[in-house]
Amino acid sequence: MATETASDAGTDGRTARAARTRDAVVEALLSLIDEGDVRPPARRVAERAGVSLRSVYVHFDDLEDLYCAAAKRQYRRISALVVTLPTDGPLDARLRAFVDQRARVLEAGAPVRRAGLFHAVTSPTLARVMHVSRKAGRAEVEKVFGTELDTYARDATERRHLLAALTTAASAATWETLREHEQLGIDDAAAVMHDMLAAILASRRPRTAARRGGPRARAAPRRARG
């Protein structure tokens, strides 16, 4: 019994050490990516983690396995920033809450997203992870602006187009353009995203007269003069 207990304790200790090493390697990779290195070599990751290069390949099958583990860890990090957004009430309040959260999440995830785009070309697993992330972002847009999608669009095609426009304006690619290419600060980039979303919605909002006659009712044809 004592021998079995000692053996179990030894196994538990090795398992715990392996988990700590694995966590250290994943955190090292994420920290290097956060600093702007989208493709840090395994040796640099090992140095940052304080482990041997061999340890990296002992705990991960290959670099794709490591990047997939990092993507899962990043998902948990970003999820901690997400709160439930309002789906009813005044549009202005929903829009502000949506943009505040979207800007916070996109800014926090930008470095890892850049690395993900680089590696997704050769990693089917990472490509799927990024696809799932985009679908989640689209679903959030549809949920928050569901009232407008259902009342501003005359048919399924218009609804799909409006959703596509809103999703694109609030996308990570748009945030990247505003921050990196337009060189806007976080607050200014968020303000521009807010204005784009507001403009898209305003452009599709039925006029008061149209509402009285049904969605975007057409004017009655003029009578021909005799």
pLDDT in tens, 164-191: 999 999 999 999 999 999 999 999 999 9
Residue ranges of the chain that CATH labels 1.10.357: 63-206
Confidence tier at 7 by pLDDT (50, 70, 90): low
Q: What is the pLDDT of residue 215?
A: 45
Q: What is the pLDDT of residues 10-32, one digit of tens each?
A: 556 678 888 999 999 999 999 99
Q: What is the pLDDT of residue 217?
A: 44
Q: What is the pLDDT of residue 79?
A: 86
Q: What is the pLDDT of residues 62-87, one digit of tens each?
A: 888 898 888 889 888 888 899 999 99
Secondary structure of 169-204 as H, E, C letters: HCCHHHHHHHHHHCCCCHHHHHHHHHHHHHHHHHHH
Among residues 139, 78, 89, the alpha carbon closest in space to that of 113 is found at 78
CA distance 209 to 139: 32
Between 186-190, 203-207, 208-212, the lowest mean confidence (pLDDT) is in 208-212
Between 84-93, 126-135, 143-152, 201-210, the lowest mean confidence (pLDDT) is in 201-210
Provide DSSP, 22-91: HHHHHHHHHHHHHTT-SS--HHHHHHHHTS-HHHHHHHSSSHHHHHHHHHHHHHHHHHTT--PPP-SS-H
Residue 49, token pair as written in the block: 């983690």
Residue 218, token pair as written in the block: 């057409």
Higher pLDDT, 158 or 209: 158
Residue bearing tokens 């697993």 = 125
Q: H or E segment at 102?
A: helix 91-120
Among residues 148, 157, 160, 195, the alpha carbon closest in space to that of 174 is found at 195
Q: What is the pLDDT of residues 40-49, one digit of tens each?
A: 999 999 999 9
For the domain 13-60, what is the CATH code? 1.10.10
Among residues 96, 109, 111, 146, the alpha carbon closest in space to that of 38 is found at 111
Residue bearing tokens 């949506």 = 98
For the domain 63-206, what is the CATH code? 1.10.357
Higher pLDDT, 122 or 21: 21
CA distance 115 to 68: 12
Q: What is the pLDDT of residue 213?
A: 44
Residue ranges of the chain that CATH labels 1.10.10: 13-60
Among residues 26, 29, 49, 53, the alpha carbon closest in space to that of 39 is found at 29
